[in-house]
Amino acid sequence: MNKQPQTLIEAIRCFSDPDVCLNYMVQSRWPSGVTCPTCGSTEISFISTRRIWKCKSKHAKQQFSVKVGTIFEDSPIDLDKWLAAMWMIGNAKNGVSSYELSRAIDVTQKSAWFMLHRIRLAMQAETFDKIGGQVEVDETFIGGKARFMHKDKRTSKIKGRGSIGKTVVMGLLERHGPDGHSAVRTRVVANVRRNSLAPTIRQHVEDGSEVFTDALRSYSDLGTWYEHQVIDHAESYARGNVHTNGIENFWSLLKRAIRGTYVNVEPFHLFRYLDEESFRYNSRKAVDAERFERIASGVTGKRLTYRQLIGAATTPA
């Protein structure tokens, strides 16, 4: 591919050629040359009529395509539609619904829904590095709004803060990260008690970091490991650099995407939507082509079957 596309229309035109799609994925996956995904051998031959390779070593699955060992594996959908879908969801400010994608690339809504979840898997950040410096920590509840519920259902579910029946999401925002921009990490947690929140913070935040939280009592012992500062929202929302406005801004973006585009997200799938919105936030300073390349670089080594997606298989994705 001579020129990297910079816009959606350029991407569609560029990837309308199957050979261009194949070459792009080969360069992204095997920059040093194609190797057998089963044995790692470079002694392979290309079968041009089928756009697949055959390993010269004797073993099972000698023949393989560029889709093997990626989120595309076993998908009958051509790469031109996959790459267009990756561009769309990676660069849409508020996400892309499965119905919209279905109409745009001419696949069924069920296939589009499956594709979007596979692409979210490619967006998933894979790092064991801890964050540090100044870190904002906050939690939110994802679920239906009381005013949209039937009166009987509202009476039974809405108690106190209205959190019953909702899913708890915890967010950590590192201010001015390695690239100079704030970045977030999100996790679904069981509840807002200390034994759920503290271990997540300990897992992801370096000891000695400055940690900013609200006045929730579950955070009261963070001073043991961190420089913990609290902002009481009953009094003010900021005191100098002590605030959680950054992570709360992320919550507004997340909920805008869920309510405006996806409308209803099952708790079982919520972590995938968190991966999508975290990717979008963390790459907000990149141009469209860079976001697309980041997704393309994350497709290898990940696989999600439909049975896993719907919870019919226990094997982890």
160-171: pLDDT as tens digits: 455 567 999 999
Tokens of 17: 């050629």
Q: What angle do CA 217, 219, 224 make, to 5 degrees?
A: 125
Q: What angle do CA 119, 122, 125 make, to 5 degrees?
A: 135
Confidence band (pLDDT; 50, 70, 90) for 127?
confident
Instruction: Indicate the residue type of 37.
Output: P
**Predicted confidence (pLDDT) at residue 272 exceeds the cutoff of 70:** yes
With CA atoms as reference, report the closest residue to 82 among 99, 101, 110, 97.
101
Q: What angle do CA 61, 77, 294 make, to 5 degrees?
A: 85
Give dist(CA 212, CA 232) in Å, integer.
Answer: 11
Give dist(CA 313, CA 317) in Å, integer.
Answer: 10
Give dist(CA 154, CA 157) in Å, integer.
Answer: 5
**Predicted confidence (pLDDT) at residue 149 exceeds the cutoff of 50:** no
Query: Which CATH fold would you assign to the domain 134-265?
Result: Nucleotidyltransferase; domain 5 (3.30.420)
Specify whether the CB–CB gap between 130 and 211 falls below 8 A. no
Cα dihedral 253/254/256/258 (nearest 10): 160
pTM of model > 0.75: yes
Confidence band (pLDDT; 50, 70, 90) for 15?
very high
Specify whether the CB–CB gap between 29 and 300 falls below 8 A. yes
Confidence band (pLDDT; 50, 70, 90) for 276?
very high
Distances (CA, A) of 3 to 10, 15, 20: 10, 12, 11
Cα distance from N-terminal residue to C-terminal residue, the chain: 32
Q: What are phi and psi of 2, to 5 degrees?
A: -75, -40
pLDDT at res. 317: 44
Q: What is the mean pLDDT of residues 126-153?
A: 79
**Predicted confidence (pLDDT) at residue 316 exceeds the cutoff of 90:** no
DSSP states of 106-165 as a string? T--HHHHHHHHHHHHHHH-----PPB-SEEEEEEEEES--GGGS-HHHHHHH--TTT-TT
